[in-house]
Amino acid sequence: MSGPADWWRDAVVYQVYVRSFADSDGDGVGDLPGITARLPHLRDLGVDAVWITPFYTSPQHDHGYDVSDYCDVDPLFGTLADADTLLARAHELGLRVIVDLVPNHTSSQHPWFVEALAAEPGSPARARYLFRTGRGPGGSQPPNNWLSVFGGPAWSRVGETDQWYLHLFDSTQPDLDWRNPEVGDMFAGVLRFWLARGVDGFRVDVAHGLFKEESLRDQERAEVAGGQEGANEGAREMVERTVADEPMWDQPEVHEVYRRWHDILDEAGPDRMAVAEAWTQTPESMARFVRPDELDQAFNFSWLLADWSAAAFADVVTGTLAAVDSVGAAPTWVLSNHDVVRHPTRYGGGPRGLARARAATLTMLALPGSSYLYQGEELGLEQVEVSSEHRQDPSWFRTGEPGRDGCRVPMPWGGQTPPFDFGPAGSSPWIPQPEGWAGLTVEAQAGDPGSTLEFYRAALAARREHARGLGAEVEVRLDAGDVLELRRGPLTVVLNCGDTPTALPQGEVLLSSAGLRSEGGATYLPADAAAWLRSAAVQPSSAEL
Ligand code: BGC
Ligand code: MG
């Protein structure tokens, strides 16, 4: 697909969690033909691009983030021909397609790891991963004190031998040794494979993880904070570590990889991009991933981790803009994804949580840069309590914590009862959907002006009309009543995080996340709401006439 080379700089990207979007064949699991059939929903919503979570061959221990063949489609999700059809249809509809790339680790079923386990210690096959000799008598203790993001030690022992392998995530996700040139060459090939099939970009999983400090020394953990509750655990743990000693993350050598990838993307065309998932220590270290000769964007998780507070959001906006400005990159914004508690629930749940979520979304969409939306947020879906027998997140198995399944419940499209057209009638989604979702389906909300779906459609249309091309400058104002005002040229967004209505400044109200009230010549924005205003055109002064 051709078009402006830097389309991604202000794109709205919609994340599809492949397992939970649309199931064409009734096996209870979403798949590529399911996505293709539902692409018109994304076109009607008004997004620019779709990011699809991993659909490659995988034993599915971490739902595709454990890849055993990077250049094929898992039969659960379809075939390579289905991927081609999806790409072609998306491009026909004017949608770009970003695919997920998982370079930090393979699946333990990847032929390389199978070969490594069968080979001798010290062999070239083992040298593609991080095998090390254990400590203590007989090497029965892990080689260092690193912990897995999913809980427990980051090392697993090879049988009864003194050999262990590193896995920063699940034991079925062995970390590759990026100091081995074979690894870099393999991924260069993977990038070229998908670029040749026509993908527009990559979302780089765990982009800050590829290199570990060469010594593999112990981590100093005095500063690591205690446990976090809920499904944010894995993600938050990564953030907690940002204040600590991190020999396993964000090593300088990783940037060499992204310079190579930058060239590979360039060779494929001026409009191909990559976005990094990099949980780094500081905004400055995040900015290093998006230097002009590296990746194009990095997810900015600061809003997603901020509390409901105008002051916190003001810091997020100022800090983010300053960080990316130093390297000339475009900022990104995200409120929900497949790893964290959905934002209406984070903001308290129920009608108030939803009101706040809509207000936060409207505020985010006014900002320069790109916004990433997560499937189902346009329906106002909340986090679901998933019963333990249906949980599949590896962190649940490793820690007994609920994990991330509650934000991954299959989408409700229509009908009155499960599967709500997620799959054919009579099929059973891999996580049961709440019985009460009939009013939340796309079918139920479409055409209802008060619905969250129509709110998202209106907000995305307003963004195209009023926010695109306004430039990167944002004036941030904070008022004592917990109200945030962001001005971008003629566009102002007001977000009321306080408890009482606030009078809006002068200007034409373009749209709001909740009903407004007019009284005594003023218009009031209720608590937990946001509005966009356009200032009256500035009259040229007589001297200029
Ligand atoms: C992905 C997770 C995944 C992990 C390991 C992440 O950051 O977003 O869903 O479990 O990487 O690949
Ligand atoms: Mg299916």
What domains does the chain contain, in order, with CATH numbers? 111-166 (3.90.400.10), 472-534 (2.60.40)
Give the per-residue pLDDT at 224.
44
Q: Which atom of ligand 1 is nearest to the CA of 170?
A: 5
**How many Cβ atoms sit within 10 Å of the Cβ of residue 475?**
10
Residue 419, preceding bond cis, omega within 30 degrees?
yes
- CA nearest to 333, candidates 347, 322, 342, 321: 321
Distance 415 CA to ligand 2 centre (A): 19
Amino acid letter, 200: D
Distance 149 CA to ligand 1 centre (A): 9
Residue 373 has phi, psi (to 5 degrees) of -105, 150
What one-character-per-residue DSSP string does 318-358 give? HHHHHHHHTTTPPPEEES--TTS--HHHHTTSHHHHHHHHH
Point out which residues pair with 487 in neighbouring strands. Answer: 475, 492
How far is residue 434's CA from residue 414's CA, in Å, rounded to a whole number? 14
Ligand closest to 20 (CA) is 2
Distance 33 CA to ligand 2 centre (A): 8
SS (H, E, C) 268-283: HCCCCEEEECCCCCCH
Collapsing DSSP states into helix, strand and coil, what is residue 519? strand
Dihedral over alpha carbons 280, 282, 286, 291 (to 10 degrees) = -140
- Residue pair 73/82 in contact (Cβ under 8 Å)? The answer is yes
Place of tokens 């034993």: 59
Residue to substitute in 51, 106, 166, 339 for testing ligand 1 pocket (most ligand atoms within 8 angstroms of CB): 339
Annotation says 205 is catalytic: yes
246-265 burial, b at 16+ Cβ within 10 Å, e below that, comes to bbbbbbeebbebbebbbebb
How far is residue 272's CA from residue 134's CA, in Å, rounded to a whole number? 43
Give the per-residue pLDDT at 241.
43
Ligand closest to 106 (CA) is 1
Q: Kindly give the confidence (pLDDT) of every residue in the chain, 545 residues in length, as a single tens digit, with 9 standing for 90 and above.
A: 656 879 999 999 999 999 999 999 999 999 999 999 999 999 999 999 999 999 999 999 999 999 999 999 999 999 999 999 999 999 999 999 999 999 999 999 999 999 999 999 999 999 999 999 999 999 999 999 999 999 999 999 999 999 999 999 999 999 999 999 999 999 999 999 999 999 999 999 999 999 999 999 999 987 444 433 333 444 444 444 445 799 999 999 999 999 999 999 999 999 999 999 998 888 889 999 999 999 999 999 988 999 999 999 999 999 999 999 999 999 999 999 999 999 999 999 999 999 999 999 999 999 999 999 999 999 999 999 999 999 999 999 999 998 999 999 999 999 999 999 999 999 999 999 999 999 999 999 999 999 999 999 999 999 999 999 898 999 999 988 899 999 999 999 999 999 999 999 999 999 999 999 999 999 999 999 999 999 976 544 444 44
Ligand 2 is an ion; its neighbours by CB within 5 Å are 23, 25, 27, 29, 31
Collapsing DSSP states into helix, strand and coil, what is residue 477? strand
How far is residue 128's CA from residue 151's CA, in Å, rounded to a whole number? 24
Query: Counting Cβ atoms within 10 Å, is residue 400 exposed (0-12), middle (13-18) or buried (19+)?
Result: exposed
Residue to substitute in 101, 169, 171, 395 for testing ligand 1 pocket (most ligand atoms within 8 angstroms of CB): 169
Place of tokens 């796309």: 442
- Residue pair 532/362 in contact (Cβ under 8 Å)? The answer is yes
Distance 65 CA to ligand 1 centre (A): 6
How far is residue 388's CA from residue 502's CA, in Å, rounded to a whole number? 44
Q: Is the dihedral of CA 399, 400, 403, 408 positive or negative?
A: positive
Q: Are strands 370-374 and 12-16 parallel, antiparallel or unpaired?
A: parallel
Give the per-residue pLDDT at 537.
60
Distance 37 CA to ligand 1 centre (A): 26
What pTM was estimated for this model as a whole?
0.95
**How many Cβ atoms sit within 10 Å of the Cβ of residue 347?**
23
Shortest-distance Cα residue to atom 5 of ligand 1? 65
Shortest-distance Cα residue to atom 4 of ligand 1? 65
Collapsing DSSP states into helix, strand and coil, what is residue 195? helix
Ligand closest to 22 (CA) is 2
Dihedral over alpha carbons 405, 410, 416, 418 (to 10 degrees) = -70
Ligand 1 pocket at CB < 6 A: 62, 65, 102, 169, 205-206, 277, 338-339
Annotation says 473 is catalytic: no
Q: Which residues contact 441 (CB under 8 A, 6 or more apart)?
A: 379, 412, 413, 414, 415, 420, 421
Distance 186 CA to ligand 2 centre (A): 29
From 100, 205, 378, 528, active-site residue: 205
Distance 467 CA to ligand 2 centre (A): 38
CA–CA distances in Å: residue 428 to residues 26, 353, 536: 8, 29, 54
How far is residue 499's CA from residue 331's CA, in Å, rounded to a whole number? 30
Q: What tokens appear for 229 in the block?
A: 């509750």
Distance 195 CA to ligand 1 centre (A): 22
Ligand closest to 82 (CA) is 2
Q: Which atom of ligand 1 is nearest to the CA of 337?
A: 8
Q: Which atom of ligand 1 is nearest to the CA of 338?
A: 9
Residue 370 has phi, psi (to 5 degrees) of -110, 155
Ligand closest to 25 (CA) is 2
Place of tokens 């306004």: 470
From 120, 267, 293, 448, active-site residue: 267
Point out which residues pair with 15 in neighbouring strands. Answer: 51, 374
Residue to substitute in 108, 171, 206 for testing ligand 1 pocket (most ligand atoms within 8 angstroms of CB): 206
How far is residue 479's CA from residue 237's CA, in Å, rounded to a whole number? 33
Q: Which atom of ligand 1 is nearest to the CA of 235?
A: 7
